[in-house]
Structures are given as structure tokens and as C-alpha cells.
């Protein structure tokens, strides 16, 4: 049977290693020197095979027949003499957080002081971490668990790591201390937890990620730009972070001075929001519940500014903005509820590469049908809606909110008709970009400012 299964092979390797250690140490005179070059080879071998024999890799969860072990535990509690628990039973129970949290089990472990194997100790730490949100239950067992780890031999690499980082894995402030230490080293929670052989599915791991994210948000302005992209890709995108914490942290980051004043950082934030499954475009997506209204409004403002730059810089490329429409509309960006670029067939062909890049970053645009060369831009200010066109000869159209809903029943429709946006019957007004009043030339912007202010929309 030897060599026919994994356990036999492991025992064989371990026996050989121990045999060589015995040869190196037994029957030697006190003055003899042990050949440490061989010890350096054999000791890690013994350690490795011992860890394999312990039956679980670091961070791996031992699967337990929970129903069967629940029954064994109940029988033991009813009559310990008739239903004693074996060391194997104890090990399995250690991997059941619902059992470990019980005072009766903790009392049994403490009073009996049963031999704690490495798999059992891993199970106790896993169960402690899974109960970490139950501070009362976790706190009672934390001292005893820390003592067990301290008393365990440091020959095992996992236990050595726990010894060195005991304050980061056990205790009511462990997750906060872990977060502070990890962020200070510009490491990410999941990597640091794995380095400590801590299971990533526990409530403790989630608490560590939460504390880390909150600390990162509080010190956002002090983080290096190079690290901010990692914060979004590896921390805020992690499954470790509870959704409500993510929404809170994002609100804080959006409203930070750094986000307001740093174009690069703001771009990273918007890219993250538009491509992350928990957010999307706040103007058309309902996943923003939990984000503060102030933060949401700020992102809408950023996106509206992006849309204005996109339309007048890309779609107007090779066309002179001689009327200064881009700079004019940017003065109103804080008042825009939503905006939409509608791209013509020719412009979609002409700028296909750039448009694909924008789509990959979560940006959206619609298709303007009924005119192959003209693109349009819609600015919704709430009580009044404005439609701009990029080609010469098209006036700027204004609609009351109610009338525009008849012109365009679905603001986010993929296709919108060119002719529908120029409805002469439903329009409130239209302004060419050079108005003449009583034979006196008047700038188009003068009339637009008046029209908008009549509906409570003012610059700034």
C-alpha cells in the first residue's frame, strides 16, 4: 500500500527526513559539530511535510459534516461520559463558528486544554474571525485564542506569522490596526491577509477591508497618485468590501478637495464609477442608492462637463467654434441635470476609434437618425431643455420640460430622430447663433441667458 496514496507518500517522506535528522544528531560526541548544511535542507523538508500532514493549506477551510457534528456536540453536552469527543471531533468542531461561539464549547476547550493541532488552531482562528462582528462572543474567546497561538511551536511558518502579528489578527481593534499598518505600507488588504494565512471569506476579512477603505478615504489627499489607481482596482473593487461601506467611502472620495482640484484623480474616479458593477452613470442608473445626494450631484456635474468637452472638442473637430458655444455652456455645467451627445452616422465612422475608447470607459452616447452628417447635444436643466447641433445652419432649440418629453419620450434611447428634435410646434423658442433685433446685431448668448434665467437657470 505504501506509495499508493498521498498520505502514505507523505509519511514516507517525513520518515526519511526524521531518519536523517536522527543520523545527524544521535551517537555524536558532545564536541562533534552537526553538519548544518544538511540540517538546513532537512528541517524545511520536515516542516513542509508536517504541514501537509496537518491536512489543510494556509487559509483553506476544512469541510465538515455540520449536521453530524452538531448532533455529536449535542449528545456530548447531554452526557459527556456516554458520548465522549475524540481529538478528531474537537478538530472538526473548531471549524464550526456556530459551535466555537458557544460558551459551553469555549469552556470545554479552556478547561480540558486538549492538544491543539495546527488544523484545529486554524479552525479556531477561522471561527473567531467569522464571529468577529459578534464582538461580545469574539472578545470572550480572544484572550484564550491568543494564548493558544503564543504557546504553539513556532516551527511552523504559519504560526510564526501569527506570533509576529498577533495584534493584527486577534482583538477588538485588530482590524483597525491591520488597516493602518497595511495602508501605511501601501499594501492591499487581500494580499496582506493572505500573507498572514487568514481566510478571506470571514467577517474579520470584511472588517479589515472596511477599515482600510475608510482610512484611505479619510487620508485621500495624502495618497500618491500612483496608489490611487490601485485603490480603485484592487481595494474598492474587491468582494471583501461590504456595499454600504463602498458607497460611504465613494461619497467621501467624490467630495474630497483632491477630487475637485486634480483632473487626473477625478478621471480615475469617474472611470471607476462608470465601469464598476455597483454604480454606473448616475443620470440613468438606479444603483446609486447609498451614495450621498451631494456626491451624486457632483458626479453628474463632472459628466456634464465631460459631455460638453466631448461634443465641442471631438464632434466639432475641424469646425471652428467661432461663437464660443463650449465656453458658454461650461458656465452652466453645475445646473445641468443630465446631458446627452447624439452622434450622426458620418461622425460615428469618422471618430470610431475614439468612441470605442470612451465606450470601454463606460461613457455612453446616442445615435442621431434622419441626418447622416449632423450630430446633436441635449442639455436638460430641469424646467427647460436645450438642443444644440454641430453643423452650421442649425439653430439652438429650447423646450419646456413637458413639451420635450413629447419630442423625446426616452432621453436615453439608443436612436433619436433629427427631425423630432426640431419640432417647430412644440418648441419654446429657437436661437440662431447670430440674432438681429431692430436691425442691431445682438450676440446669441444674450438671448439664451435671458431665456434660461426666465426658467430659474443661471450661470455659476
Q: How many CB atoms lie within 10 A of CB 101?
A: 19
Q: Is pLDDT of 10 > 60? A: no
pLDDT (tens digit per residue) in 266-313: 999 999 999 999 999 998 877 999 999 999 999 999 999 999 888 888
CA distance 62 to 137: 22
75 belongs to a structural domain: no
383 and 425, same structural domain? Answer: yes
Measure CA 188 to chain center: 11
The span from the CA of 157 to the CA of 197, in Å, is: 10
In whole angstroms, give the CA distance from residue 301 to residue 331.
11
| Residue 349, H or E segment | helix 345-350
Neighbour tally for 210: CB within 10 Å: 22
Give per-residue pLDDT as tens, 56-65. 555 577 889 9
Residues 266 and 353 in one domain: no
Q: Given pLDDT bands bounded at 50, 70 and 90, which one contains residue 439?
A: very low
Residue 136 lies in a domain: no
Weakest-pLDDT range from 253-262, 312-321, 356-365: 312-321
Domain match, 332 and 447 both = yes
Please give the pLDDT value at position 1.
31
Q: How many CA atoms within 13 Å lie on the side-chain side of 186?
A: 10
Q: Are residues 335 and 271 in the same domain?
A: no
Give the per-residue pLDDT at 19. 54
Q: What is the mean pLDDT of residues 95-121?
A: 84
Distance (Å, whole) CA 142 – CA 132 = 10
Given 240, 265, 291, the domain boundary residue is: 291
% of the chain surpassing 70 pLDDT: 83
Least-confidence region, from 24-33, 97-106, 146-155: 24-33
Q: Tell me how far the alpha carbon of residue 281 is from its chain's centroid.
A: 17
Mean pLDDT confidence for 225-229: 91
Number of domains in the chain: 3
Rounded Cα–Cα distance for residues 336 and 329 (Å): 10
Alpha carbon 238 to chain centroid, angstroms: 4
Q: Residue 7 and residue 53: Cα distance in Å, rounded?
A: 7
Give the pLDDT confidence score for residue 62 in this predicted structure. 83
Instruction: Please determine, for residue 178, whether its predicted confidence score (pLDDT) is greater than 60.
Output: yes
Does residue 319 share a domain with residue 249?
no
Buried b (16+ CB within 10 A) or exposed e, 374-405: bbbbbbbbeebbbbbbbeeebbbbbbeeebbe
| Position 187 confidence tier, pLDDT thresholds 50, 70, 90 | very high
The CA-based angle 200-198-235, given to 5 degrees, is 45
Clarify whether residues 229 and 363 are in a common domain.
no
Task: Answer yes or no: do 266 and 368 share one domain.
Answer: no
Task: Say which residue, 200 or 46, is predicted with more confidence.
Answer: 200
Task: State residue 51's pLDDT score.
Answer: 47
The grid cell for 260 is 475637485
Are the CB atoms for 128 and 100 separated by under 8 Å?
yes
**Left (φ > 0), alpha (ψ -120 to 50) or beta: where does 149 sit?**
alpha
Q: Are 382 and 370 in contact (CB under 8 A)?
A: no
Answer yes or no: do 255 and 325 share one domain.
no
Residue 312 shares a structural domain with residue 353: yes
Q: Does residue 388 form part of some domain?
A: yes
> pLDDT tens-digit profile of 15-49?
555 555 554 454 444 454 544 444 444 455 555 54
* Statement to judge: residues 257 and 392 lie in one domain: no
d(CA 11, CA 15): 6
The domain boundary, picked from 38, 53, 68, lies at: 53
Residue 148 lies in a domain: no
Tell me the residue range of the domain where 382 lies.
307-454
Rounded Cα–Cα distance for residues 194 and 201 (Å): 11
CB contact set of 77 (below 8 Å; sequence gap of 6+) = 104
Contact in structure between 450 and 437 (CB atoms under 8 Å): no
125 occurs within a structural domain: no
Picking from 341, 337, 327, 332, the residue whose alpha carbon sits closest to that of residue 449 is 332
pLDDT number for residue 442: 57
Average pLDDT of the residues in 236-250: 95
User: For residues 123 and 69, is the Cβ–Cβ distance under 8 A?
Assistant: no
pLDDT for residue 111: 74
Cα distances from 413 to residues 369, 408, 410, in angstroms, run: 12, 9, 5
Of the pLDDT bands very low, low, confident and very high (cuts 50, 70, 90), residue 434 is: low
Kind plus residue range of the DSSP H or E element containing 431: strand 429-431
pLDDT band at 137 (very low <50, low <70, confident <90, very high): low
Q: Angle, nearest 10°, between helix axes 243-254 and 293-310?
A: 60
Output the average pLDDT for the chain: 84
Q: What is the DSSP letter of 281?
A: -
Cα 25 to Cα 42: distance, rounded to the nearest angstrom: 12
- Does the pLDDT of residue 212 top 80, yes or no? yes
Query: What pLDDT sits at residue 156?
Result: 82
Residue 415 has a pLDDT of 94
Residues above pLDDT 90, as percent of the chain: 60
Torsion 37-39-45-48 (CA) sign: negative
Q: 71 lies in a domain?
A: no
Q: Which three cell numbers stand for residue 129?
A: 474571525
- Which grid cell is 90? 474537537
pLDDT value at 53 more than 80: no
pLDDT of the residue at 4: 39
Asked, for residue 262, whether it belongs to a domain, the answer is yes
Those residues with Cβ within 8 angstroms of residue 5's Cβ, 6 or more apart along the chain or in another chain: none
Determine the average pLDDT of the residues in 313-333: 80
pLDDT in the model for residue 448: 93
**283 found inside a domain:** yes
- Banded pLDDT at 76 (limits 50, 70, 90): very high
User: Domain check: are 323 and 446 in the same one?
Assistant: yes
User: With 0-12 CB in 10 A as exposed, 13-18 as middle and 19+ as buried, what is 201?
Assistant: middle
Whether 271 and 387 map to the same domain: the answer is no
User: What does the pLDDT average to over 95-110?
Assistant: 88
Domain's final residue, options 262, 291, 320: 291
How far apart CA 342 and CA 320 sit, in angstroms, is 19
Amino acid at each position: 500500500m505504501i506509495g499508493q496514496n498521498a498520505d502514505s507518500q507523505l509519511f514516507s517522506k517525513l520518515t526519511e527526513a526524521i531518519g536523517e535528522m536522527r543520523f545527524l544528531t544521535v551517537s555524536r560526541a558532545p564536541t562533534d559539530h552537526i553538519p548544518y548544511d544538511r540540517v538546513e535542507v532537512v528541517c524545511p523538508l520536515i516542516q513542509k511535510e508536517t504541514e501537509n500532514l496537518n491536512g489543510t493549506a494556509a487559509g483553506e477551510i476544512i469541510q465538515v459534516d455540520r449536521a453530524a457534528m452538531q448532533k455529536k456536540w449535542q449528545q456530548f453536552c447531554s452526557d459527556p461520559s456516554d458520548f465522549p469527543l475524540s481529538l478528531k471531533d474537537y478538530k472538526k468542531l473548531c471549524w464550526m463558528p456556530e459551535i466555537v461561539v458557544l460558551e459551553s464549547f469555549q469552556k470545554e476547550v479552556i478547561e480540558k486544554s486538549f492538544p491543539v493541532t495546527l488544523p484545529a488552531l486554524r479552525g479556531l482562528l477561522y471561527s473567531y474571525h467569522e464571529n468577529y462582528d459578534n464582538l461580545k462572543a469574539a472578545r470572550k474567546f480572544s484572550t484564550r485564542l491568543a494564548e493558544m497561538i503564543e504557546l504553539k511551536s513556532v516551527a511552523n511558518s504559519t504560526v510564526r506569522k501569527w506570533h509576529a502579528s498577533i495584534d493584527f489578527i486577534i482583538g477588538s481593534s485588530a482590524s483597525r490596526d491591520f488597516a493602518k499598518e497595511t495602508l501605511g505600507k501601501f499594501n492591499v488588504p487581500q494580499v496582506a491577509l493572505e500573507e498572514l494565512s487568514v481566510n478571506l471569506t470571514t467577517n474579520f476579512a470584511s472588517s479589515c477591508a472596511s477599515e482600510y477603505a475608510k482610512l484611505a478615504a479619510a487620508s485621500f489627499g495624502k495618497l500618491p497618485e500612483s496608489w490611487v489607481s490601485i485603490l480603485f482596482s484592487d481595494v474598492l473593487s474587491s468582494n471583501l468590501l461590504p456595499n454600504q461601506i463602498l458607497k460611504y467611502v465613494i461619497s467621501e472620495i467624490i467630495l474630497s478637495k483632491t477630487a475637485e482640484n486634480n483632473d487626473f484623480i477625478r478621471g480615475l474616479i469617474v472611470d471607476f464609477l462608470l465601469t464598476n458593477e455597483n454604480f454606473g452613470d448616475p443620470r440613468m442608473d438606479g444603483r446609486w442608492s447609498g451614495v450621498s445626494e451631494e456626491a451624486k450631484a457632483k458626479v453628474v456635474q463632472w459628466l456634464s462637463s465631460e459631455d460638453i468637452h466631448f461634443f465641442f472638442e471631438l464632434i466639432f473637430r475641424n469646425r471652428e467654434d467661432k461663437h464660443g458655444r463650449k465656453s458658454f455652456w461650461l458656465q452652466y455645467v453645475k445646473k445641468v441635470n443630465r446631458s446627452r451627445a447624439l452622434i450622426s452616422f458620418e461622425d460615428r465612422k469618422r471618430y470610431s476609434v475614439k468612441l470605442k475608447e470612451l465606450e470601454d470607459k463606460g461613457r455612453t452616447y446616442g445615435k442621431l437618425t434622419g441626418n447622416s452628417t449632423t450630430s446633436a447635444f441635449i442639455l436638460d436643466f430641469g424646467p427647460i431643455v436645450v438642443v444644440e447641433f454641430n453643423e452650421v445652419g442649425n439653430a439652438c432649440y429650447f423646450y419646456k420640460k413637458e413639451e420635450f418629453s413629447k419630442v423625446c419620450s426616452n432621453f436615453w434611447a439608443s436612436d433619436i430622430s433629427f427631425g423630432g428634435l426640431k419640432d417647430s410646434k412644440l418648441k419654446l423658442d429657437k436661437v440662431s447663433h447670430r440674432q438681429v433685433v431692430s436691425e442691431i446685431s445682438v450676440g446669441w448668448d444674450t438671448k439664451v441667458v435671458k431665456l434660461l434665467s426666465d426658467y430659474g437657470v443661471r450661470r455659476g
